[in-house]
Chains A and B, each alone.
Chain A
């Protein structure tokens, strides 16, 4: 069974569209994260939720909005997609905030 699963794995879309990425973890973890990894391969934290509460909200455009309907799910909605949004987006989870994080396989977003 996949511990942290993201859908879709690939997302190709045009500028200006709105898209969502879904993430689910079956590890029973309390904390979930969204990261962006661009072409330079640097991992950048975007958001983190602990028990459905937003605890990390880094400087990202407000076109990006996370939603956590329950502890096992953290979705990412992106409005008005721009070329610079092209990247790999990783979801991760951890038992608690100070525990190691476990990553999903990533969603490769390409903006045409």
Chain B
């Protein structure tokens, strides 16, 4: 059973600080990784996708991938109260018709 694991939190971060969200996955052959943000009562929204080892930056968001250690992380710089949400990590399982394997999500709270 392939798994994606995240700390459920809540992770509390002061406004303006860096929020660091982590995710580990069990399938060493995984190639495609995604971070989604889900506000309470809303649908998941794609924030970042990453396919290669290293860092990928988009505005205040940086995704980091380390395939050797099987982890992917999301850094949010200059955290804002509007970043408070649940962050979902998802990994494509190529052996199961490319379905997404989802983590349970980390609840992030940014304190003003």
Contact = CB atoms under 8 A, between A and B. Distances in A.
Contact of A103 (B32, B44, B86, B104): B44
Given A41-B105, A100-B49, A105 B100 contact: no
Contacts of B99: 45, 48, 56
Interface residues of A, number: 17
Interface in A64-105: 90, 97-98, 100-105
B25 interface: no
Contacts of A103: 43-45
Interface in B67-102: 86, 88, 92, 94, 96-100, 102
A97 B92 CA distance: 9
Contact of A101 (B94, B96, B100): B100
Contacts of B100: 45, 101
Contacts of B88: 43
Nearest to B105: A41
Contact of A98 (B42, B86, B98): B98
B46 interface: yes
Most-contacted residue by chain A among B42, B43, B94 (CB, 10 A): B43
Q: When A and B form their complex, which 4 residue pairs have the shortest distance between CB atoms, in order from nearest?
A: A97-B98, A103-B43, A43-B102, A55-B97
Interface of A: 41-43, 45, 48, 55-56, 90, 97-98, 100-106
